[in-house]
Amino acid sequence: MMSEQKQDKHQQRQQKLKQQVDQRIDAAQEERGLLLVITGNGKGKTTSGFGMITRALGHGQTCAVAQFIKGTWDNGEKNLLEKLGVTFHVMATGFTWETQDKQKDTLAAQKVWQQCKTLLSDDSIDVILLDELTYMVTYGYIELEEIVQTLENRPSEQSVIITGRAAHRTLLEMADTVSEVRNVKHGFEAGLKARKGIDW
Ligand code: ATP
Ligand code: MG
């Protein structure tokens, strides 16, 4: 049990904190779509992006997903969310982490990017996930400048989530919200196999 004195102090502190938070909430006046980047080496970037898609869907919003790296595995999120009306564009080559054929990969990336450009000019879409887009910049498959311009010109109410490791500095600068997922440890390092429902 807290002593009465401690209880008072605790209440005072909470009161002050509440005032500060309320002030900040009042100060936030602008309302528009956000650009978010989820980057870093830890696990949780793509699943975070899909978490927001699910959240938006639950509010009856319209969502779309573009995936720039197609895993060799089945895709749990796509299996579920397509049934709920989410548009998916997935890079169609067997392209994974190890790039083999630059020309083929560039073509495949460009094809998905063209579809993204349509989504990014459609104001009926509330939230778009551009999963693993960061690598397309790193590998030079899509021009950074073109991505920046397309994002800047998108409908003002539209939110966009970009995921992937090593996001380009320009993307970090233009984003409203950036989170870096840090790897503390990963089961893979201890020899654990990737697991359905957890890793894909
Ligand atoms: P998730 O899709 O689970 O949210 P992620 O998007 O953060 O993961 P990616 O870098 O896109 O991670 O890698 C995708 C796959 O690699 C997932 O199966 C994930 O579990 C695995 N992975 C993520 N981080 C690591 C890591 N630090 N070491 C080993 N494997 C990882
Ligand atoms: Mg990912």
The yes-or-no verdict on residue 71 having pLDDT over 60 is no
Ligand 1: distance of its center to the CA of 70 in Å? 13
Q: Biggest alpha carbon distance in the chain?
A: 72
Taking the CB of residue 90, how many other CB atoms lie within 10 A of it?
16
pLDDT of residue 165: 96
Nearest CA to ligand 1 atom 28: 186
Say if 2 falls within a structural domain.
no
Say if 96 falls within a structural domain.
yes
Ligand 1: distance of its center to the CA of 109 in Å? 20
Tens of pLDDT, residue by residue over 5-62, are: 888 888 998 899 889 888 888 888 889 999 999 999 999 999 999 999 999 999 999 9
Say if 200 falls within a structural domain.
no
Say if 140 falls within a structural domain.
yes
pLDDT of residue 103: 85
pLDDT of residue 98: 58
Task: Catalytic residue, from 41, 118, 138, 183: name it.
Answer: 41
Say if 135 falls within a structural domain.
yes
Task: Catalytic residue, from 50, 68, 95, 113: name it.
Answer: 95
Tens of pLDDT, residue by residue over 148-193, are: 999 999 999 999 999 999 999 999 999 999 999 999 999 999 999 9
Say if 3 falls within a structural domain.
no
Instruction: Give the C-alpha separation, 20 to 117, whole Å.
Output: 41
pLDDT of residue 83: 97
Q: Whole-prediction pTM value?
A: 0.89
Instruction: Give the C-alpha separation, 62 to 99, whole Å.
Output: 33
Say if 153 falls within a structural domain.
yes
Say if 23 falls within a structural domain.
no
Tens of pLDDT, residue by residue over 156-168, are: 999 999 999 999 9
Tens of pLDDT, residue by residue over 81-125, are: 999 999 999 987 655 555 567 888 899 899 999 999 999 999 999
Instruction: Give the C-alpha separation, 159 to 114, whole Å.
Output: 18
pLDDT of residue 50: 98
Q: Tell me the H-state helices in the chain.
A: 4-27, 45-58, 76-81, 102-119, 133-138, 144-152, 169-174
Domain range for residue 150?
33-190
Q: What is the CATH number of the domain that holds 50?
A: 3.40.50.300
Q: Distance between the two ends of the chain, CA-based, in angstroms?
A: 46
- Number of domains present in the structure of the chain: 1
